[in-house]
């Protein structure tokens, strides 16, 4: 289980264009989206938007699937 990190999971996406801004904010942390479940809906000043959960490459999850 210890080796089951987000960076090795098939659901992990760190190539999406929208992550450019996130990387500027996150700084030294390596992040990506978890695409296992539906995007999370949020609201900001009356506008709705959705995004996948943001995860660190070293995070763990019970639904890990190894990349082949």
Q: Which position has the token pair 């978890």?
A: 34
Q: Residue 65: inside a domain, yes or no? A: no
Burial class (CB in 10 A: 0-12, 13-18, 19+), 12: buried
What is the pLDDT, as a whole number, of residue 1?
59
Residue 28, domain extent:
6-56
Q: Residue 31: inside a domain, yes or no? A: yes
Q: Residue 66: inside a domain, yes or no? A: no
**Which tens digit of pLDDT belongs to each residue from 36-63?**
988 988 887 888 888 888 888 889 888 8
Structural domains of the chain, count: 1
pTM of model > 0.85? no
State how far the Cα of 37 lies from the Cα of 17, in Å rounded to an integer.
Answer: 19
Q: Residue 44: inside a domain, yes or no? A: yes
Largest CA distance in the chain: 42
């Amino acid at each position: 289980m210890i080796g089951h990190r987000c960076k090795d999971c098939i659901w992990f996406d760190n190539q999406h264009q929208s992550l450019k801004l996130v990387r500027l904010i996150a700084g030294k942390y390596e992040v990506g989206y978890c695409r296992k479940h539906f995007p999370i809906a949020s609201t900001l000043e009356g506008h709705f938007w959705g995004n996948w959960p943001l995860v660190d490459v070293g995070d763990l999850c019970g639904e890990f699937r190894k990349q082949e």
